[in-house]
Structure 1
Amino acid sequence: MKMKVVTIGGGTGLSTLLKGLKHLSSFEITAVVSVTDEGGSSGKLRKELNVPPPGDVRNNIVALAEDEDLLAKLMNYRFMEGSLKGHSLGNLIIAALTKIEGSFSEAIRTLEKVLAIKGRVLPVSEDHARLVARFEDGEEVVGETNIVKKNGKIVKVWLDRSIEALPGVTEAISEAEMIVFGPGSLYTSIITNVLVKGVKEAIKRSKARKVYICNLMTQPGETTGYRVSDHVRELERYLEEKVDFVVVNTKRPSPEVLERYRKEGSDFVEIDVENTQNTIIAEPLLTEIVDPLDGKKKVRHDFLRLAGVIERISRW
């Protein structure tokens, strides 16, 4: 019998985790993905076609696909000129399928069947909402992109309107034996899911092991200066309960990569959770990869090592 695992997040971090988890035959994976992204191609399609942002969903479907290399090249292909400039082919395919199937979730289900992915990907909701943040100076900013641009200390986040979680999302959470949060942007990829009506309530009712995978680096305009304890405190504040396990990385980036990140306003997330009610798992999980788009080295989780940690937790 496979263990039912629900992952909650969005963006690059969650897709990295899924790349590793799909190799574990003992897991039945459901990825719950945020729908408040407003940047780039996703933001344009959301505004112009009135569809939920497809970018994070696309990344996670590709991550769960068996023939990932070929699919990644096709689905992530980005047009560099003409009227389609800035759009990725995968986003356009998902937007087209949404119109054909009549709903975002049906479009995803169709694509999952075509690509025969190892698991399923669910948007947290099909409704539209924008993330709102109040900063330490009292200013309230609407929209993920604007929140990051503000580059201040966030005091509170919420959605500009109440939206309902998909029934499949709350059902998956209620049946889960393990719920994994992250890795990913703390407010704009993880907590934004918790704000959707029905999600937090389902998590609080769940008896599943709850695991938080902390980011490797802080994010400019979102978690500047945050240590591990700050990330955990904020997630638990919105969950309104403790997580059982916190997975943290002990390996620092190379000096030249760390220096470049610092110039961009980001820094290594320091571990400071000695006295905590959570079980802390601290291991060297960082790797550096070369981004094919700009040729720069980027910091990422080692997806196989990370999957190994999650598998160990599943046996505890």
Structure 2
Amino acid sequence: MMKHELNSVDSIVAIGGGHGLGRVLSSLSFLGPKLTGIVTTTDNGGSTGRIRQDETTIAWGDLRNCLSQLAHRPAIGTMLFDHRFNGDNELNGHNLGNIILHALEQLCVRPLEAIKLIRTILKIETRVIPMSESPTHPSALNAQGETVFGEMNVDDMKEIPSQLTLAPNVAATCEALPAINKADIIIIAPGSFFTSVMPPLLIPSIANAIKDSSAKVILIDNLTSEPSCASSLTLDDKIEWINQSISTNRINKIIRNSDAVDIGELVSYFPLVSDHHLGLHHKEALAEAIATVVSQKA
């Protein structure tokens, strides 16, 4: 199945964090409005983290990353949106896209409406929806029963958490649920497992929507071991974490990297590594892999 045969699919939803989800969305961007990304909003590092230290806001970094990867290039709007300040001042390290999105929020624009405005400016057809429009952070329990709060601290844990939640609990962005409900394909994107992949699945209404969906659910695994305690998780461990959040086994297909194509009943292997970076999926190859597993019987 060639990737453009995916055009026969009415709706695909991809869920996850910025870098991994952005790569998936970019790979499938030819689908235009048939494609929707539901984006994790819990980051507290870098430019986003500095904004969140001073303001009560969702994390804009992963959303900005997805929009950036979907944007047409080269264009002055994209260059401005991607611009990162440098110099010996308080702007150093801040990303202009994050600041623009937060400024729109301060102008009493819903986060989703702010994203729609940026999509219009950057001529992005694919829908991008925050998992929630309310601020929240991942919160984990370690082996000693102590609470570890915030994305960066969870990623720095030395052992697998015994429990992972959102603090506070938040509602899903209302537009996310009908997108999941009408999806023919749901993709769980690669990324940092506990802090990019899992947070949207910790929102009960999103988990229930996936559970009740008739869509084929595809998990795309990481290319490389992530620099966190999640690196010790096996594929079965990841499936178990996802199943516990969704309260059932909903994963129909799994895409993993290998030098040779091997189409299995559950796990399918494809050569997926980008020519430019060992940690990035090759966009054309990833689109072809998704098309291939979509064509398989569930």
Q: TM-score, normalised by structure 1?
A: 0.83
Any residues of structure 2 matched to 1:150-161 within 5 Å, and which? Answer: 150-161=157-168
Match among 232, 236, 257 for residue 225 of structure 1: 232
1:287 counterpart = 2:274: yes
Query: 2:145 corresponds to which residue?
Result: 138
| d(CA) in 1 for partners of 2:271, 2:176 | 32
| d(CA) in 2 for partners of 1:284, 1:163 | 38
Tell whether the 8 Å contact from 1:12 to 1:184 is kept in structure 2 after alignment: yes
Percent of pairs with identical residues: 29
Deviation at 1:298, TM superposition (A): 4.8
Query: 2:280 corresponds to which residue?
Result: 300
Deviation at 1:23, TM superposition (A): 2.6
Match among 242, 249, 256 for residue 248 of structure 1: 256
Tell whether the 8 Å contact from 1:65 to 1:116 is kept in structure 2 after alignment: yes
Q: TM-score, normalised by structure 2?
A: 0.88
Residue segments in structure 1 that go unaligned for 5+ positions in a row:
253-270, 290-296
Query: 1:210 corresponds to which residue?
Result: 217
Tell whether the 8 Å contact from 1:248 to 1:280 is kept in structure 2 after alignment: yes
Deviation at 1:113, TM superposition (A): 1.3
Tell me which amino acid in the other structure corresponds to 1:36: T
Tell me which amino acid in the other structure corresponds to 2:113: E
- Work out the number of aligned pairs and report it: 285
Deviation at 1:99, TM superposition (A): 1.9
Any residues of structure 2 matched to 1:65-144 within 5 Å, and which? Answer: 65-67=71-73, 72-81=78-87, 82-144=89-151
Q: Give per-residue Cα distances to partners, 1:18-61, cap 9 Å, x unaligned.
A: 11101346x71110001111111111212323221111101111
1:56 counterpart = 2:62: yes
Deviation at 1:284, TM superposition (A): 1.3
| d(CA) in 1 for partners of 2:30, 2:76 | 18
Q: SS state of the match for residue 148, structure 2?
A: strand
| d(CA) in 1 for partners of 2:273, 2:161 | 27
Deviation at 1:78, TM superposition (A): 1.2
Q: SS state of the match for residue 175, structure 2?
A: helix
Q: SS state of the match for residue 154, structure 2?
A: helix
Residue segments in structure 2 that go unaligned for 5+ positions in a row:
1-7
| d(CA) in 1 for partners of 2:75, 2:294 | 28
Query: 1:311 corresponds to which residue?
Result: 291
Deviation at 1:155, TM superposition (A): 2.1
| d(CA) in 1 for partners of 2:78, 2:197 | 23
| d(CA) in 2 for partners of 1:225, 1:69 | 41
Q: SS state of the match for residue 8, structure 1?
A: strand
Q: SS state of the match for residue 281, structure 1?
A: strand
Tell whether the 8 Å contact from 2:217 to 2:253 is kept in structure 1 after alignment: yes
Tell whether the 8 Å contact from 1:78 to 1:86 is kept in structure 2 after alignment: yes
Give the alignment's Cα RMSD to 1 decimal: 2.2
Q: Give per-residue Cα distances to partners, 1:4-23, cap 9 Å, x unaligned.
A: 00000012111111111013
Query: 2:51 corresponds to which residue?
Result: 45
Higher mean C-alpha deviation, range 146-155 or range 175-184: 146-155
Any residues of structure 2 matched to 1:175-194 within 5 Å, and which? Answer: 175-194=182-201
Q: Give per-residue Cα distances to partners, 1:283-310, cap 9 Å, x unaligned.
A: 1112253xxxxxxx55211111111111
Tell whether the 8 Å contact from 1:141 to 1:147 is kept in structure 2 after alignment: yes
